[in-house]
Amino acid sequence: MGARKIIIDTDPGQDDAVALLLAFASPEELEVLAVTTVAGNVPLELTTRNALTVCELAGRSDVPVHAGCDGPMTGTLKTAEAVHGQTGLDGVELPPPSTAPAPGHAVDILIETLRREPAGTVTLCTLGALTNVATAFARAPDIVERVAEIVVMGGAYFEVGNWSPAAEFNILVDPEAAQIVFRAGRPLTILPLDVTHKALITPDRLAAFGRIDSNVGRAVHGWLGFYERFDMAKYGWEGGPLHDPCVIAYLLKPDLFSGRFINVEVETQSELTRGMTVADWWNVTDRHANATFIGDVDADGFYALLTDRLARL
Ligand code: BDR
Ligand code: CA
């Protein structure tokens, strides 16, 4: 079997950056057709610039980076400079990207790519708000059934919220978009905080990245040291959670993860709980299952995979 074709939709972000690197380090399993950017951790201009920087760091400037939506379908953009710094990729000085975004809006590229590639062969990996994907689905409903699978970092059940008391950041940024994608009817896997909060960047794991003697190793070490400080202070844990690489690791080694096929809906109405992922973990409703909601990860296995693969770049 050849490499699985993926599009990575992202708002880099240090953890997004590490997810991109993990995908680039795994060409035998994953063919990255395009990187599409969305506003989220920082505004769109910066997430796009950061995606270009990461592609260049990995020696993969051949992968097109397409800028997408600069804000959610409804309401105003929420950003997370408190976590990621003013650039979104604080923690290490890298040269400005020498490449430019590829022509074509991310939404158009999603539509064109899904129409061009054989149906059922392209997996969408989302590491940010779901605005680009939902906008593409709304504009071109014919592409929905052509999607092989959607793998999302977002939401939470047992861990509830990290950006409001009830909501995880990626879903909170654009709840309407998340609802469209969750209800699209395609195979959907969700990596929520319940799993990413078990994948902590402990001092030993951070040190292992630092021992990778390359520009990639130094960048990952610098980024994650900066990025985790916010969550370590917030939660009082020995390391910050590494969210987005879980999506790519799930594609590479699904056996590291376990979860349940359940119903997951997004709250869009309530002021108090807007953006909450209402996951029927205990199967207490008749609502049909629409998502594999991951609950657990072999964290040592995940970090071993990540460290091993990043050392290849
Ligand atoms: C998610 O929010 C962003 O800050 C991270 O990049 C990740 O995608 C975690 O809630
Ligand atoms: Ca992200």
Closest CA to 24 of 70, 57, 73: 57
What local confidence, expressed as pLDDT, does residue 1 receive?
A: 72
Instruction: Indicate the average pLDDT of the chain.
Output: 98
Q: Could you tell me the CA-to-CA distances from 90 to 14, 50, 70, 181 in Å, in that order?
A: 8, 10, 21, 31
pLDDT digits (tens, 9 = 90+) for 205-221: 999 999 999 999 999 99
Q: For residue 20, give the ligand nearest its CA.
A: 2
Residues bordering ligand 2, an ion, CB closer than 5 Å = 11, 13, 16, 127-128, 244
H/E element, 30? strand 30-37
CA distance 311 to 172: 34
Residues 6+ apart with CB under 8 A from 197: 159, 241
H/E element, 291? strand 291-297
Tell me how far the alpha carbon of residue 286 lies from the centroid of ligand 2, in angstroms.
Answer: 32
What local confidence, expressed as pLDDT, does residue 73 receive?
A: 98
Please work out whether the CB of residue 280 comes within 6 Å of at least one atom of ligand 1: no
Please work out whether the CB of residue 41 comes within 6 Å of at least one atom of ligand 1: yes
Per-residue pLDDT of the chain (313 residues; tens, 9 = 90+): 799 999 999 999 999 999 999 999 999 999 999 999 999 999 999 999 999 999 999 999 999 999 999 999 999 999 999 999 999 999 999 999 999 999 999 999 999 999 999 999 999 999 999 999 999 999 999 999 999 999 999 999 999 999 999 999 999 999 999 999 999 999 999 999 999 999 999 999 999 999 999 999 999 999 999 999 999 999 999 999 999 999 999 999 999 999 999 999 999 999 999 999 999 999 999 999 999 999 999 999 999 999 999 999 9
105 part of the active site: no
Q: For residue 241, give the ligand nearest its CA.
A: 1
Tell me how far the alpha carbon of residue 118 lies from the centroid of ligand 1, in angstroms.
Answer: 31
Residues 6+ apart with CB under 8 A from 244: 10, 13, 15, 16, 18, 19, 127, 153
pLDDT digits (tens, 9 = 90+) for 112-126: 999 999 999 999 999
Neighbours of 275 (CB within 10 A): 27
Q: How many CA atoms, within 13 angstroms, populate the side-chain half-sphere of residue 163?
A: 25
Tell me how far the alpha carbon of residue 209 lies from the centroid of ligand 2, in angstroms.
Answer: 20
Per-position b or e across 229-251, b if 16+ CB within 10 A of its CB: eebbeeeeeebbbbbbbbbbbbb
Domain boundaries along the sequence of the chain = 4-310
| DSSP single-letter state for residue 195 | H
* Atom of ligand 1 at shortest range from CA of 14: 6
CA distance 245 to 21: 9
Identity (one letter) of the amino acid at 108? D
Tell me how far the alpha carbon of residue 5 lies from the centroid of ligand 1, in angstroms.
Answer: 23
Please work out whether the CB of residue 274 comes within 6 Å of at least one atom of ligand 1: no
pLDDT digits (tens, 9 = 90+) for 19-72: 999 999 999 999 999 999 999 999 999 999 999 999 999 999 999 999 999 999
Residue from 84, 197, 221, 243 carrying the catalytic annotation: 243
Tell me how far the alpha carbon of residue 285 lies from the centroid of ligand 2, in angstroms.
Answer: 31
User: Which residue from 131, 243, 246, 247 has its CB within 8 A of the most atoms of ligand 1, so it is best to mutate?
Assistant: 243
Global pTM value: 0.99
Q: Which CATH number fits domain 4-310: 3.40.30.10, 3.40.462.10, 3.90.245.10, 3.40.50.920?
A: 3.90.245.10
Q: What angle do CA 192, 197, 202 make, to 5 degrees?
A: 145
CA distance 88 to 11: 9
Edge-to-edge order in the sheet of strand 257-262: 65-67, 30-37, 4-10, 122-126, 147-153, 188-191, 291-297, 257-262
Using CB atoms within 10 A of its CB, is residue 213 exposed (0-12), middle (13-18) or buried (19+)? exposed
Using CB atoms within 10 A of its CB, is residue 187 exposed (0-12), middle (13-18) or buried (19+)? middle
User: Which residue from 79, 81, 89, 153 has its CB within 8 A of the most atoms of ligand 1, so it is best to mutate?
Assistant: 153
